[in-house]
Amino acid sequence: MTSTTAPIVDAARDTVAIRSENLCRHYRMGETLIRAVDGVSIEVASGEFVALLGSSGSGKSSMLNLIAGLDRPTSGSVVVQDRDLAKLSREELAKYRLHVVGMVFQSFNLITSMTLAENVELPLRFAEVERDKRDILSRDALERVGLRARLHHRPSELSGGEQQRAALARALINRPKLLLADEPTGNLDSHTGTEIMNMLAEFNRELGMTVVMVTHERALAERYAQRMIFLADGKLVDDRPNSPVNARGQA
């Protein structure tokens, strides 16, 4: 299989950001075998804004973790930006997460003991970027999400919306090709949720980032995503294009 996929990947370099083929993630929980992701084959083009939809337990988050390189497939393959993630070593996978992917989560996942500036520059520390450059980049990133004044505040001193903006700034700091969002508005009220979604749409549009967002809110997906992929019980059930109605208007 690899001998046939490799040339295709090369040919599709400029257009295909993510390609999964018969992707499976199974794990055991006691006696039962859980098929979190069960034979999903999708292709996401560069610059696309894709929503992964499904009820809870449908496998959408597991799918996202596989694309993010946080988890490894049981079988099948997932190729992101020319990298066959199943074949990367732990070390290479960490590099991949550092440089290729930016992630935001439902619960923001900022480190509570650090200030916003420190949270945002943390990936740069892992990338061994010099301190001076780190300061400039993290300031710029926070400015971009409108948190310039909150540089030295801790996450607990901020509202949920502000925290998620900071998390966005952190996700963007290494200029990733791919932005992965796991229920990014799940903990926010509708107003701040919209604010965050507009930012995602803006990064997608202006920076040409490929965005994959996991959500269970169909309405949200319809407003922003260019494509909706539906999962149920770990299987792909629907994959359809969508015209985002609200993105441009709100931005």
Partner 1 sequence: MKIPDLTELALRNLRESLLRNSLTTVGISVGVASLVAMLSLGTGLQQLFSRRLEKSGLFDTIYVSSRREMRMGRAQERTGPNPAESRVLDESARAEIERLPNVSEAYPDIRFSTELQFNDKPHLSMVSALPQSAKSNDAFDGMQGSFFSSDSAPEVILQKSFAEELLGKTPPLGAPEPTVAELAQPLLGKELTMNYAQRESTAVPVKPPAAPENSPASEIAAASYSVISREQKLKIVGIADLDPESMRGPTRAKVFLPLKLAESLHVMQPTDLREIARGGNDQEVYSSISVRVKNPAEIKGVEDSIKKMGFTTFSILDASQSLQKVFKVLYAFLGIFGSLALAVASIGIVNTLVMAILERRREIGIMKAIGASDGDVKKLFFAEAGAMGVVGGVIGVGLGWAIGQVINFGTNIWLKSQSIPPEHFWAVPLWLVLFAIFFAFLVSLVSGLYPAGRAAKLDPVQALRYE
Binding site for partner 1 (CB under 8 A): 65, 68, 70-71, 90-91, 94-95, 97-99, 103, 105, 107, 109-114, 122-123, 125-128, 170-171, 174
Q: In the complex with partner 1, which residue's Cβ is closer, 174 or 194? A: 174
Which residue's CB is nearer to partner 1, number 110 or number 228? Answer: 110
Query: How far from 86 is each of 19, 66, 72, 141, 240, CA to CA, in Å?
Result: 12, 9, 6, 31, 27
> How many whole angstroms separate alpha carbon 62 and alpha carbon 66?
6
Beta carbon nearer to partner 1, 205 or 216: 216
Q: How far is the CB of 86 from partner 1 (least distance, A)?
A: 15
Minimum CB–partner distance for residue 29 and partner 1 (Å): 12
Q: Which is nearer to partner 1, 211 or 247 (CB)?
A: 211
Q: How far is the CB of 93 from partner 1 (least distance, A)?
A: 9
Beta bridge partners of 229: 52, 239
- What are all long-range contacts of 148-152, with beta carbons under 8 Å and residues at least 24 apart? 150/116, 151/115, 151/116, 151/117, 152/115, 152/116, 152/117
Q: Which is nearer to partner 1, 111 or 245 (CB)?
A: 111
How many other CB atoms are there within 10 angstroms of residue 89's CB atom?
Answer: 8
CB of 111 to partner 1, least distance (A): 5
CB of 155 to partner 1, least distance (A): 11
Residue type (1 letter), 45: A
